[in-house]
Chains A and B, each alone.
Chain A
Amino acid sequence: MVELGQLESHHQDFAARDTRIVAVSLDAQEDATRTAKKFPHLLIVSDEQGSISGAAEVIGPHHGPDGKETVSPTTILIDRRGQVRWVFRPERFIERLKPEEVLSRVDEYLARK
């Protein structure tokens, strides 16, 4: 959840661009609630049934330390009309985008609009 903390700390930068962060995991509702308390400026989604993750096909191939399925870190920029504008997946699950890199992609999209 390191990346969520970094995104949370840049929430004003995203808000200034009329952009919100929606963080999705396969966590149960109670875990999502705990996550939301830690990161109050992010929208935390409990995708326990894997509906969003399954639709986006981001589940696996690795598993969590508890042996359960988990998602591959993936970042998707979606415009306000629901159109996908950018899809990013790191080469390794140990890598994450820095908030500055995400903001840079948002800026690129906004410049093209």
Chain B
Amino acid sequence: MRTTTPPIASGKGPGRRLLVLGIVIALFGLGVYVVLAIGTGFLHTPWYMPVLATIGTCLIVISIVRRLTIWRIVAVLIIGLLTAGEWWWLLDFSRLPAYAGPVSVDQPFPEFSPASLADGTPFTRDSLIGEKDTVLVFFRGFW
């Protein structure tokens, strides 16, 4: 008895535009974020990034429904992983716990042992008292 296996076609064919569009859309969101965050310093929550990646993944899946190829499967795996990674990064990894430390409104800033200003001058809690109000910004460092 003769058996046949469904052919796995080459990259060209029905749905190819969807495949390309899906990849472009998925990468576009990432590109926009990189340009905005690194290029212009606009730090924000890029919800558009995983949303666009999800749309891109869906388009690639539709292209696979139209025609099954190795390259489309590879593409959906890569873009799907990118999409999952972007959702995880945004919904879990980048989240900060709500502040629960000892700094409270209408209370003095907690006592601390001296740190130093850039010129080496000691910086103590008394340095917070003076002729000006202070906006104390904790930032993540020089890197």
Contacts and interface: CB of A to CB of B under 8 A. Distances in A.
Given A54-B112, A83-B108, A89-B99, A96 B141 contact: no
B50 to A, nearest CB: 13
B136 A22 contact: yes
Contacts, number: 221
Contacts of A70: 140-141
Interface in A1-45: 1-7, 14, 17-27, 29, 31-36, 43-45
Contacts of A84: 103-109
Interface of B: 37, 41, 43-46, 90, 94-120, 123, 125-126, 128-143
Contacts of B95: 91-92
Given A80-B129, A90-B96, A46 B116 contact: yes
B118 A35 contact: yes
Contact of B136 (A29, A35, A75, A94): A75
Nearest to A23: B137
Contacts of A91: 45, 95-96
A55 interface: yes
B133 A76 contact: no
B137 A95 contact: no
A64 B140 contact: yes
Contacts of A56: 101-103, 109-110, 112, 138
A4 B137 contact: yes
Contacts of B134: 19-22, 77-80
Given A20-B134, A44-B118, A56-B101, A73 B109 contact: no
Contacts of A45: 115-118, 123
Interface in A86-112: 86-87, 89-96, 102, 106, 109
Contacts of A58: 99, 101, 138
Contacts of A34: 142
B97 A61 contact: yes
